[in-house]
Amino acid sequence: MSYSKNTDPRVERLIQDAMDGIRASLAASPESSAIRAVVLGGGYGRGEGGATPGGTPYNDMDFFVVMNGRKPSPALRGLLNGLSAEWRGKLGIDIDFYCVKSLKALYKDADTLMIQELFAGCRVAFGDEHIFDDAPRRPFSELPWTEAARLLLNRGAGLLFARQRASDPAEADFVRRNLHKAALGCGDAILVVHHDYRTSGTERLEALRKYYEASWLVPAYEDALAFKYAPDAGTRSEPDYAYHLDCWLRTMTLVATEITRHIASADAHFSACRIAEAGPRSLKSMILSACSAPALPELLSPIAVHPRVKLLRILTVCLLNPEHETDTFIRLWKRYN
């Protein structure tokens, strides 16, 4: 299986060099005895990574470090941080190591999109080659609706960060990348709530075309997917913040309405649901009005629902009102994301 969607031989070689180098460094260290496996997930792990026209990787390399039942020692964290810095310097992309205490602990998150995508496509860089042979794989159609909320939260946060950096020419690539990610997140959220999420980006694009109510999102999703696979090549135009914010708000409407159809209690979905039923034209004014109303707590999800779902309300206010204080949202998002 290739690492990049376009199987660019230059990128394939660079990613393989990183895999080999990381494996050799871990094998040579006594700290590796605490590790059961180091697994490459994310786009490159699934064979969906990006390759620039110049033959360099573009996306982050996301590694899951599965420990043998204990937390990583300071020495091991130092080793991983050193490997991250070393290969970031060689490849020009972020190299992230996410440590999890045990395989059992990882399996506790088996209902999430991130972990099911890991099971669906990954590459073992070090350790047990068969680590996920008995993984609790589930059809993407069984993903809970809260994963759609997670997508909207994270990609909406990306919109917020893109707006904050838009005036800095040095941040143009960061802004472009996060606007495209927002479009992909919107389409994926719609598919999740329709129990129609697919394995690959091209399959998801074709699935999204089936939904007439989301036809306005298809061009943005298509452009974003082209950018994901071949950054700086194949896109029709530069992404626009206002357009992508509108896509995010309209997606909130569709997702919230779909959730409402399947949940008995009107309080059991995230806070945009009741407001969003009026449609996208009046969405902005209604959200702002509701967020300042005394009855606001009644609109929030019940206490049993994860805080990240409730954060959608705070994020929406921040996105619709550029003057609104964002520090509280960012602090809570980092804590609960």
Whether the model clears a pTM of 0.75, i.e. scores above it, the answer is yes
pLDDT at 263: 57
State the maximum Cα–Cα separation within the chain, in Å, rounded to a whole number: 61
pLDDT at 301: 45
pLDDT at 130 over 50: yes
Per residue in 197-215, pLDDT (tens digit) is: 999 999 999 999 999 999 9
Cα dihedral across residues 180, 181, 184, 190: positive or negative:
negative
pLDDT at 133 over 80: yes
Per residue in 258-306, pLDDT (tens digit) is: 877 765 443 444 444 444 434 444 444 444 444 444 334 433 444 455 6
Confidence tier at 178 by pLDDT (50, 70, 90): very high
Across all residues in the chain, what is the average pLDDT? 85
In this structure, what token pair is assigned to residue 64?
Answer: 């899951």
Cα dihedral across residues 5, 144, 336, 109: positive or negative:
negative
Compute the average pLDDT of residues 71-96.
95
- How far, in Å, CA of 174 to CA of 178, rounded? 6
pLDDT at 258: 83
Alpha carbons within 13 A on the beta-carbon side of 27? 10
Per residue in 17-76, pLDDT (tens digit) is: 999 999 999 999 999 999 999 999 999 999 999 999 999 999 999 999 999 998 999 999
Q: What percent of the chain has pLDDT over 70?
A: 84
pLDDT at 325: 83
